Amino acid sequence: MATERTLSILKPDATRRNLTGKINAVFEEAGLRIIAQRRLHLSQAQAEAFYAAHRERGFFKDLVGFMVSGPVVVQVLEGEDAIALNRKLMGATNPANADPGTIRKLFAESIEANSVHGSDSAEAAAQEIGFFFAGTDIVG
């Protein structure tokens, strides 16, 4: 295993319910370190660009609308095997299918308002981290 970095987003349903600390406690207790973090309100253009890979999917418009419905927290997590570990801690996309103890099982409201985003590959992590952060923003 290698030390990796991955992009995490705490989605609008999480900020609305004041859950950022509770969710980040799950990451930190599992050994992931938050080495960059910013709270922002995504613009329509930013949300569309971030989810460009999903443009053809039926839920794209709804997803973008949800992601601009309130503030998000974007952050870089670092740790051993961070990309897969983050995905494991998040749980399945649909909270109904998520394992007990995962963030989505504990906190998600629906398949759309599912509290967290996490990069799903090394390539996605590098691209998504670069989408939000300059190298100088990241302090490991």
Sign of CA dihedral 60, 66, 67, 73: negative
Both tokens of 33, joined, read 């370190």
Residue ranges of the alpha helices (H) in the chain?
Answer: 12-16, 20-29, 44-50, 60-67, 82-90, 103-107, 122-132
Asked if residue 84 binds ligand GDP (CB under 6 A), the reply is no
Asked if residue 30 binds ligand GDP (CB under 6 A), the reply is no
Asked if residue 112 binds ligand GDP (CB under 6 A), the reply is yes
What whole-number distance in Å separates Cα of residue 140 and Cα of residue 130? 15
Residue identified by tokens 């319910």 is 17
How many residues lie near ligand GDP (CB under 6 A)?
9
Asked if residue 93 binds ligand GDP (CB under 6 A), the reply is yes
| Residue 36 near residue 75, CB atoms below 8 Å | yes
Q: Establish whether 117 is a catalytic residue.
A: yes
Query: 40 or 137: whose CB is closer to ligand GDP?
Result: 40
Q: Candidates 13-21, 30-38, 42-50, 59-67 — which segment interacts with ligand GDP by CB under 6 A?
A: 59-67
Asked if residue 26 binds ligand GDP (CB under 6 A), the reply is no
What whole-number distance in Å separates Cα of residue 13 and Cα of residue 86? 19
As measured in angstroms, the least distance from the Cβ of 136 to ligand GDP is 28
Q: Which residues are catalytic?
A: 117
Question: Which spans of this chain sit near ligand GDP (rule: CB under 6 A)?
Answer: 59, 62-63, 93, 111-112, 114, 117, 120
